[in-house]
C-alpha cells in the first residue's frame, strides 16, 4: 500500500499484433491511495527535438532534454514508495486494432528503486467518431500530441479502478480535454485520509455501475464491476469492459501476461540499473557469492535487468535475484493473476471474484485481452481467462465448481498448472500476508474458504 497526497497545478503508428499465449511482447500491483503531484508546463522548443533520448531523470541535463522531447513531467507520488519516473515519461503508441483501438504506454518506476514496469492507457474510437479513454496516463506534451494525431475528439475519460497510480492522472489529463466527460469506478477511497475526488482535480465525475445499459457507450462497450467487501483498509474495486465490435476485454489488474522482453517504454538505463548486483541482489541470492563487476550495456544485461524487475514486482522478495532465469521462465509467457493480487486480494474474497469472472466468461465472447500492465494485446479466449483463476476452486470448495461444459472443465485443469507459483519465491509474500493479517491490515478468512 502506498500513501500519497494529490495536488495538481493545471497549465497542459505502428500496427501491433495481438500476443498469443505462446508469443508475446511487453503490471504492477497498483499502490492504493493519494498522491502529491505537480504538472509543469514544458517550454516550447523546436519540433525536431522530439526524438531526443533522455539519458537520466536525475540530472539537469536530463530535465532539459525531457522538455525538448515533450516528455517532461514532474511527479512525486506516494509514501513510502513514490512512483517515478520523477522528471520525464516517454510515451509509446501502438495500434492494437486497426482504426479502432490504440495503446499508450509509459514507464512506471517504484520510488528510488531499480524496479520499473509499464503502465497503459487504452483508447477506443466509438461509432460517433469520438474517443473513449481507459485509465489515463501522464499527460505529457508528447502523450497529448499522440492522442491528437488520431484526429478525433476525446469524449469520455474512464477511471476503471480506485488505485492511485491510475487516479492521479485523470485530473491533469481531463484538463487537456475539457469537453470530455469523466466516469469513475464506484467506492473511490484513499488512505490515510479518505479525500474526495475533487482533491485529485477530478470534477463532475459520474459513477460506473454494474451492467449499466444507460451509459452513452452501452451499445458498443459493456461493463461489469467487481466491488469486494473490505479486504483490509479498503475494498478492491475494478471495472472490466467489453468492446463488442473488436471482441476485446479490458481489465486493469485482474490478469497479466509477462513478456519475455521488456516493454519498449522502459529505458535502457532502468534495465541496466536493475542488472547491477546491489543490496537487494546480495540479500536475495540464496547465500551464493555475489560478484562485484561493472555492468556493460548489452542485451544480456538488459534482459537480466528485466527479469529481476518482474520477479520483484510479482513477489516483492523473490528467492534468487542473482540468477532470476528459472523463476522468470516459470512466470512469463502465460496469462496469470499476479501473485500479489492473488494473495492479498482475490484469495480474501473468492466468492465475489468467482461471480465476476464467471459473468465475464458467460456473457462476453472475447478473443483479446488488454490489461493496464505488462503485455498487450493478448490473444486469449474465455477459457484462458478462467484458467488463470483456477485457484478459486481450492478456496471455495466443490459447491462452487459448477461448470459442466468441456471448455470450462479444461480451463480448470489447465489453470492448476498456470496458477502454480514457485514456493521459494512465494515465501516473502506469504510472510507479508501473515503479518498484515496479524496487525489487522488484511482479512484472515472469508466466507466460502476451505478451513
Cell representation of residue 434 = 501473515
Q: Is the peptide bond before 80 cis (omega within 30 degrees of 0)?
A: yes
Question: For the residues 89-111, what does the mean pLDDT come to?
Answer: 95
Helix axis angle for 423-438 and 299-315, nearest 10°, is 40
Q: What is the pLDDT of residue 404?
A: 46
Q: At what angle do helices 268-275 and 299-315 cross, to 10 degrees?
A: 80
Residue 50 has pLDDT above 50, yes or no: no
In this prediction, residue 76 has a pLDDT band, given cuts at 50, 70 and 90, of confident
Q: What is the mean pLDDT of residues 229-239?
A: 82
- Average confidence score pLDDT of the chain: 81
> In this predicted structure, what is the pLDDT of residue 186?
95
In this predicted structure, what is the pLDDT of residue 419? 54
Question: Which of these ranges, 110-114, 166-170, 357-361, has the smallest mean pLDDT?
Answer: 110-114
pLDDT at residue 195, as a whole number: 79
The mean-pLDDT minimum among 114-118, 153-157, 222-226, 289-293 falls in: 289-293
Residue 132 has pLDDT above 70, yes or no: yes
Each residue's pLDDT tens digit, 1-41: 333 333 333 443 344 445 554 443 443 333 333 334 434 34
Main-chain dihedrals φ then ψ at residue 284, nearest 5 degrees:
-110, 65
0.85 exceeded by pTM:
no
pLDDT of residue 5: 36
Q: What is the pLDDT of residue 334?
A: 95
Q: 53-66 pLDDT, tens per residue?
A: 333 333 455 555 55
User: Percentage of residues in the chain with pLDDT exceeding 70?
Assistant: 76
List pLDDT tens digits, range 187-228.
988 777 777 887 788 899 999 999 999 999 999 999 999 998
Which stretches does DSSP call E strand in 271-354?
Answer: 335-336
Q: What is the pLDDT confidence band of residue 81, given thresholds at 50, 70 and 90? A: low
What pLDDT score was predicted for residue 82? 78
CB 40 within 8 A of CB 69: no
Beta bridge partners of 207: 184
397 pLDDT more than 80: no
pLDDT of amino acid 17: 46
Distance CA 310, CA 278 (A): 16
- pLDDT per residue over 425-442, tens digit each? 999 888 888 888 888 777
Amino acid at each position: 500500500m502506498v500513501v500519497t497526497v494529490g495536488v495538481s497545478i493545471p497549465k497542459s503508428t505502428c500496427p501491433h499484433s495481438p500476443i498469443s499465449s505462446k508469443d508475446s511482447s511487453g503490471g504492477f500491483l497498483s499502490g492504493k491511495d493519494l498522491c502529491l503531484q505537480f504538472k509543469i508546463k514544458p517550454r516550447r522548443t523546436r519540433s525536431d527535438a522530439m526524438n531526443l533520448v533522455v539519458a537520466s531523470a536525475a540530472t539537469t541535463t536530463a530535465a532539459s532534454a525531457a522538455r525538448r522531447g515533450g516528455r517532461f513531467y514532474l511527479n512525486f507520488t506516494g509514501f513510502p514508495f513514490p512512483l517515478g519516473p520523477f522528471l520525464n515519461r516517454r510515451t509509446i503508441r501502438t495500434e492494437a486494432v486497426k482504426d479502432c483501438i490504440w495503446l499508450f504506454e509509459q514507464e512506471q518506476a517504484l520510488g528510488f528503486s531499480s524496479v520499473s514496469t509499464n503502465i497503459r492507457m487504452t483508447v477506443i474510437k466509438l461509432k460517433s467518431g469520438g474517443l473513449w479513454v481507459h485509465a489515463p496516463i501522464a499527460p505529457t506534451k508528447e502523450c497529448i500530441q499522440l492522442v491528437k494525431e488520431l484526429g478525433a475528439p476525446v469524449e469520455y475519460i474512464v477511471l476503471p479502478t480506485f488505485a492511485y497510480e491510475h487516479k492521479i492522472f485523470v485530473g491533469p489529463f481531463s484538463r487537456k480535454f475539457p469537453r470530455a466527460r469523466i466516469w469513475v469506478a464506484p467506492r473511490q477511497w484513499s488512505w490515510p485520509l479518505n479525500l474526495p475526488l475533487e482533491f485529485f482535480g477530478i470534477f463532475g465525475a459520474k459513477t460506473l455501475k454494474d451492467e449499466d445499459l444507460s451509459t452513452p457507450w452501452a451499445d458498443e462497450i459493456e461493463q461489469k464491476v467487481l466491488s469486494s467487501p473490505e479486504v483490509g483498509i479498503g475494498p478492491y474495486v475494478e471495472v472490466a469492459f467489453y468492446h463488442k465490435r473488436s471482441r476485446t476485454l479490458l481489465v486493469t489488474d485482474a490478469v497479466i501476461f509477462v513478456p519475455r522482453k521488456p516493454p519498449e517504454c522502459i529505458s535502457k538505463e532502468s534495465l541496466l540499473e536493475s542488472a547491477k548486483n546491489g543490496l537487494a541482489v546480495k540479500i536475495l541470492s540464496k547465500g551464493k557469492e555475489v560478484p562485484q563487476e561493472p555492468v556493460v550495456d548489452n542485451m544480456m544485461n538488459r534482459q537480466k535487468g528485466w527479469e529481476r524487475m518482474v520477479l520483484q514486482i510479482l513477489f516483492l522478495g523473490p528467492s534468487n535475484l542473482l540468477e532470476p532465469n528459472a523463476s522468470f521462465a516459470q512466470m512469463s509467457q502465460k496469462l496469470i493473476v499476479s501473485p500479489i493480487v492473488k494473495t492479498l486480494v482475490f484469495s480474501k474474497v473468492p466468492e465475489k471474484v468467482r461471480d465476476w469472472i464467471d459473468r465475464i466468461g458467460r456473457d462476453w465472447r472475447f478473443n483479446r485481452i488488454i490489461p493496464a500492465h505488462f503485455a498487450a494485446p493478448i490473444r486469449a479466449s474465455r477459457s484462458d481467462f478462467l484458467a488463470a483463476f483456477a485457484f478459486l476452486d481450492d478456496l471455495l470448495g466443490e459447491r462452487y465448481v459448477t461448470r459442466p461444459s468441456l471448455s470450462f472443465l479444461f480451463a480448470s485443469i489447465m489453470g492448476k498448472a498456470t496458477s502454480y507459483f514457485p514456493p521459494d519465491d512465494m515465501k516473502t509474500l506469504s510472510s507479508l500476508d501473515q503479518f498484515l493479517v496479524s496487525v489487522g491490515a488484511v482479512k484472515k478468512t472469508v466466507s466460502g474458504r476451505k478451513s
